[in-house]
Structure 1
């Protein structure tokens, strides 16, 4: 199939209008972020705050019990659930029952930020994903679930966005990372068609592919966003927009533009390199308001 690669801009975002700002928190969606470990509690903090900055009304976080209290204090806006953990501080597979209770009736579920063990992640998602019936974002090591189960999210009928980095994209496809880097657009399309999910991936340039489409969207990157935690912020924005009712392709497109535009704004105000992933967070609602007016 011949691909058409199109640049993503504010005008194109008008194809996926955002819900208006009116209404209370119940109307803006409940988003659940599942991830973290004893060594990486910050990932779920970044992702959950990003979801809120994108407009989600009710954030919930599920992470290992050893850091749950600290996460609750750091993000007082969120309901935090402590999950059973292994001796290494990873979420255990039996915690899937706790997550399923949280996922019941939620508007978006983000799985993966801060997970450290591919084996533990795969075991957890093995118990969890086949029983889900809500919009889902798979990020970071949650992608390990699809490595051996290419159609593992097919039952969700396209209500899924995958946000792997380059190495996770290569691992999921069973390819060499250099091979994927040579043609990232085609790699995104292959994963989208294989999984039936919208895919957001790329290095210096971000690509968005949807299943059974010959159009791939792209957006140039910002050097300073190549930093720890940046992917957690992007995945959180996707989840926040899904929770607000934006369809997967639109949530992916808006998240990419919001993340990169906010990153570029921070870069211009501070420096091209050296700013932190969390520095981007306060700019997300400002950029969203600006882009929404231009996209109308």
Structure 2
């Protein structure tokens, strides 16, 4: 339960031995199964991101932006999650907050710049402000 995996549907197909279409057809069940099989926290990235724990808990994040489907964006997400975990957050908590912060950054950029076309590195300056806002429970400009 200390390992956190953040696959997209293609990577989850490889982990699970299923076809991508099967992962897309029932992402919650696939994420739950792989979390239990690998004894890991799974954040299955997609239009809806599925967070699954080995215990069977499931949470769904429905925010974000299609613009997050760009090279390097998953690395930013992994960095957020890793940073939160390194500061003492439990793996499930780190993955959940990571998905939320990453998604909010993507949504903000898609409003500021364009729906698609922003780069992963453009997410980075937003992260501290979004974490601060989340901790203080305030809106972000």
8 Å CA contact retained: 2:65, 2:107: yes
Could you say which residue in structure 1 is the equivalent of 2:48? 205
8 Å CA contact retained: 2:6, 2:45: no
Question: What TM-score comes out, normalization by structure 1 length?
Answer: 0.45
SS of 1:282's equivalent?
A: helix
Separation in structure 1 between the aligned mates of residue 7 and residue 99 of structure 2, nearest angstrom: 13
Shift of 1:202: 2.8
Q: Please state if 1:175 is matched with 2:22.
A: no
Could you say which residue in structure 2 is the equivalent of 1:195? 38
Q: Please state if 1:264 is matched with 2:107.
A: yes
**Stretches of structure 2 lacking an aligned partner (at least 5 in a row):** none
Could you say which residue in structure 1 is the equivalent of 2:126? 283
SS of 2:95's equivalent?
A: helix
Deviation string 1:196-218 (CA, Å, 9 cap, x unpaired) is 110001311111000122x3111
Separation in structure 1 between the aligned mates of residue 135 and residue 25 of structure 2, nearest angstrom: 34
Separation in structure 1 between the aligned mates of residue 11 and residue 113 of structure 2, nearest angstrom: 30
Q: Please state if 1:184 is matched with 2:27.
A: yes
Question: What TM-score comes out, normalization by structure 2 length?
Answer: 0.93
Mapping 1:85-164, distance limit 5 Å? 158-164=1-7
Structure with greater contact order relative to length (CA < 8 Å, sep ≥ 6): 1
The size of the alignment, in residue pairs, is 137
Separation in structure 2 between the aligned mates of residue 259 and residue 228 of structure 1, nearest angstrom: 14
8 Å CA contact retained: 1:193, 1:211: yes
Separation in structure 1 between the aligned mates of residue 125 and residue 29 of structure 2, nearest angstrom: 34
In our comparison, the structure showing a higher alpha carbon Rg is 1
Separation in structure 2 between the aligned mates of residue 267 and residue 206 of structure 1, nearest angstrom: 18
8 Å CA contact retained: 1:184, 1:202: no
Could you say which residue in structure 2 is the equivalent of 1:251? 94
Could you say which residue in structure 1 is the equivalent of 2:84? 241
Could you say which residue in structure 2 is the equivalent of 1:119? none
**Stretches of structure 1 lacking an aligned partner (at least 5 in a row):** 1-157
Shift of 1:293: 1.1
SS of 2:114's equivalent?
A: coil
Bigger helix fraction: 2
Q: Please state if 1:292 is matched with 2:135.
A: yes
RMSD: 1.2
Deviation string 1:133-184 (CA, Å, 9 cap, x unpaired) is xxxxxxxxxxxxxxxxxxxxxxxxx211111121111111100111001111
Could you say which residue in structure 1 is the equivalent of 2:59? 217
Could you say which residue in structure 2 is the equivalent of 1:85? none
